[in-house]
Amino acid sequence: MRGTFAVLTGWAIVAALAALLLITVGVSPLVVLLGGIALAMFGPHVYMHYLLPLRLRALMRRLTDPAAGPPKGAEPVEDGFPQRLIDTVRSDAGALERYLADDFAMVDHKGRRYDARRYLDSQHALLVAFPDLTERVDELCADFDLPDVLWMRTTQTGRSRSGIVYDATVWSRLTLTRDRRRIREIAFGGVTRAG
C-alpha cells in the first residue's frame, strides 16, 4: 500500500531526527543505536498489526457511500469466476498472481493506477493486518455492452491481532481477459457499508 510505505518512510525520518536530538542532548550513542535497532525490528510489526487495521477501518468508513455500485444499465448476472478466484486464493496464497494478466492494473479510490506488484503487496498487507480475513461474493452485475467487465460486490470480514474488527461491503469493477480466465484490471467501485 502506498500509504503504508509513506508511513514507514515517515517513521524512519522521525527516528533519524530523534536520534540526532538525543545524541545532541547527551544520550549515549550506544543507547540511541540500541533504541534504533529495537524500533527497526518492532516498528513495522506494530504498524502492520495495530496501526494499519485502524487506518484501513477509518478509510473504509470515510469512503462509505450507500448509493455506490454499478452504473445504470448493469444487470445482475451469474458468473463463477470471482468466487473460484476467492476460493483458490484462500487455499493457495500464491495463486492470486497467476490470475492477473500481464498488463494488470489496480485503480484505487482516487483513480490512481498501480501494477500487479503493488496490488499483491496490498493484498499481503491486508492479510497480515487481518489474519482471519474472509471474503464472499454477494452480487455480480454486468452491462451487456461491455462483455469483459463485471461489477462485483463483496463482503470482507476479519479481526486484527489487537481485536480491531474489519467488516465492509465493497464494489469493485473487474475487467477480464477475453477468455475470462485472468483479470486485466481491478478498480475501486465504492464502499456501501463499513463497520
* pLDDT 10s digits, 155-170: 999 999 889 999 999 9
> With a threshold of 0.85, does the pTM exceed it?
no
Distance from C-alpha of 170 to C-alpha of 153, rounded to nearest angstrom: 6
Q: How far is CA 78 from CA 75, 82, 148, 152, 186, in A?
A: 10, 10, 14, 11, 19
Q: Domain holding 159: CATH number?
A: 3.10.450.50
* pLDDT 10s digits, 111-169: 999 999 999 888 888 888 999 999 999 999 999 889 899 999 999 999 998 899 999 99
Tell the burial category of 177 from Cβ atoms under 10 Å away from its Cβ (0-12, 13-18, 19+). middle
Bin 28: left if φ > 0, else alpha if -120 < ψ < 50, else beta: beta
Q: How many domains does the chain have?
A: 1
Residues listed for the chain: 195
Instruction: Domain of residue 89: give its range.
Output: 1-195
Q: How far is CA 38 from CA 46, 101, 128, in A?
A: 12, 40, 20
